[in-house]
A and B are shown apart, each in its own frame.
Chain A
């Protein structure tokens, strides 16, 4: 059984239909990329998954548990961490406070302290700046903070929404290296990206979204050579 199974998901914003019945699955240990243009429904998919948006019909099964009726704050407890789009960190709090808040659903003090060390090891820059107000970090550092914060909840699956958005090429490479290392530690990653080239390079499988529907899917290594994908998303 897949770790995460999305079946025929329909989501509306008022009367506007954003997702027109999408289905996909994520297996444990995989890196799955969801790629697509602006307005394709990538973020909507993630927000429905993490309980921020309600689904009209369809189901999301996580290890057999239905998520569409579960409130957002309980979903995090079940092991799904969300790195929201656009580096949504807590601007006016310190880096350390941001990270501590990532572990909000946890009670094990020692585990939290150990994970904080782990996050600092992965992002040494965050340790240097732990007392700094998060809003004063650079864009790339803020993205790292958002990722570190998500890791603090000790997730089984981490859902990332356009981690490379608005970052310089060096930072983009760094972010993708980090995703690679997160996956090596045994985490499952669901990655939403516009940077299709980079996303397909590290993903196991990928789904292509177009205006609320999945139009293509398959192994990432196959999709990267697909003529249609090349033309539409890789700019070749």
Chain B
């Protein structure tokens, strides 16, 4: 203990270390050919869900408000970035320039919507906020599912009825084809990019929570009246948090849409919002690292069970739900948690018995 590191800083650096170690491990698996196709296909979704869950944890854990509209923000991010990429695919040929811009556009549009709906919605609390955000997510999904957008030499054409109503010139190109969604998005998402974006998101989230602004947001969560009584502009801090959650949700959406050759709005239904909330709750509310780990584990399990063999495949969702329940019991029961913490400490004691000088947390 020569110089003390702040516990919060240490926590974030442990998370970064875990992530980098996991990344190297996966890269080795892939390069040595030990990763199945299924696993390789899951790498980008891991990043997408991790980013989205960690971002949602900001609203749920740090701000203390229940939002069920994360899929809506992902949807906005996915569509806006995909439109950008489809339009500029021929002009900006280098993916490493185009894709970051696309992600930024996805994030900005999502944040814009987050702030716009946040202004009226954040006056609500608890259940009401949950209901309104749920409705928002569904509305976004349905609007995109009914939207036809095309462009030709005359510019952009919009319709909410059918492709024919767009009246495109012969040289026109479809961008969004209603329920069929967007196709022809360049497949720019790779695991490496996803991992970099995840790391950047984590740095943003950790620094935000440990900043003055983060403390202010937590004070709103702990006690609204006291927060007002110390002179905090509550609406402002709620909007900042909600906007940041939406922004990162949008970035995750962009990553998602550039991983698929065809994207339908129906993917962003309320199941996805709930799924991401489940990651947040199981990972631990307010625990950013937990959200990432839960997102990865819970994305992997159903897919692994699907592959596990014909018998298990039929019971896939049953096993998945049992795992969810067990995890919930384990993480919420103080006695069980205490038992594991104690055994972990004992294990640590054995391992580090004669090496107490070994630096902690890698």
Contact = CB atoms under 8 A, between A and B. Distances in A.
A and B interact physically: yes
Interface of A: 47, 50-52, 71-77, 81-84, 88-93, 97, 100-102, 104-105, 146, 149-150, 153
Given A52-B229, A73-B233, A153-B231, A101 B223 contact: no
Given A97-B215, A101-B216, A90 B225 contact: no
Nearest to A75: B231
A92 B230 contact: no
B62 to A, nearest CB: 10
Nearest to A161: B229
A93 B219 contact: yes
B218 interface: yes
User: When A and B form their complex, which 9 residue pairs have the shortest distance between CB atoms, in order from nearest?
Assistant: A76-B231, A88-B226, A82-B229, A90-B222, A105-B231, A73-B233, A72-B228, A88-B223, A90-B219
Contacts of A73: 228, 231-234
Contact of B230 (A47, A51, A101): A101
B222 A92 contact: yes
A92 B215 CA distance: 10
Contacts of B229: 50, 52, 72, 76, 81-84, 88, 150
Interface in B219-251: 219, 221-223, 225-234
Nearest to B223: A88
Contacts of B226: 84, 88-90, 146
Looking at A89, A104, A150, the one whose CB has the most chain B CB atoms below 10 A away is A104
B5 to A, nearest CB: 14
A93 B214 CA distance: 11
Contact of B222 (A83, A93, A104): A93
A65 B232 CA distance: 20
Given A52-B229, A100-B215, A104-B230, 7 more contacts: A50-B229, A52-B225, A83-B229, A88-B229, A92-B221, A93-B218, A101-B216
Contacts of A92: 218, 221-222
Interface residues of B, number: 18
Interface string B304-321: 000000000000000000
Contacts, number: 73
Interface of B: 212, 215-216, 218-219, 221-223, 225-234
13 contacts: A72-B228, A73-B232, A76-B231, A81-B229, A82-B230, A84-B229, A88-B229, A89-B223, A90-B218, A91-B222, A93-B218, A104-B212, A150-B230
A105 B219 CA distance: 14
Nearest to B229: A82
A104 B228 contact: no
Contacts of A91: 222-223
Given A84-B225, A90-B222, A93-B222, A153 B230 contact: yes
Nearest to A82: B229
A101 B215 contact: yes
**A interface: dominant SS:** mixed
A97 B229 CA distance: 15
B225 A77 contact: no
Nearest to B234: A73
A102 B228 CA distance: 11
A97 B101 CA distance: 38
A127 to B, nearest CB: 18
A161 B220 CA distance: 20
A120 to B, nearest CB: 18
Contacts of B232: 73, 101, 104
A188 B212 CA distance: 29
B216 A104 contact: yes
B236 to A, nearest CB: 8
A73 B226 CA distance: 11
A98 B30 CA distance: 48
A93 B231 contact: no
A73 B219 CA distance: 14
A88 B221 CA distance: 12
A76 B223 CA distance: 17
Contacts of A89: 222-223, 226
A70 to B, nearest CB: 11
Looking at A71, A73, A91, the one whose CB has the most chain B CB atoms below 10 A away is A73
Nearest to A91: B222
Looking at A52, A89, A90, A149, the one whose CB has the most chain B CB atoms below 10 A away is A90
A51 B225 CA distance: 10
Looking at B222, B226, B233, the one whose CB has the most chain A CB atoms below 10 A away is B226
A78 to B, nearest CB: 9
A229 to B, nearest CB: 29
Contacts of B231: 72-77, 104-105, 153
Contacts of A149: 230
B251 to A, nearest CB: 28
Contacts of B227: 90
Nearest to B7: A131
A71 B230 contact: no
Nearest to A83: B229
Contacts of B223: 84, 88-91
A71 B218 contact: no
Contacts of A47: 225
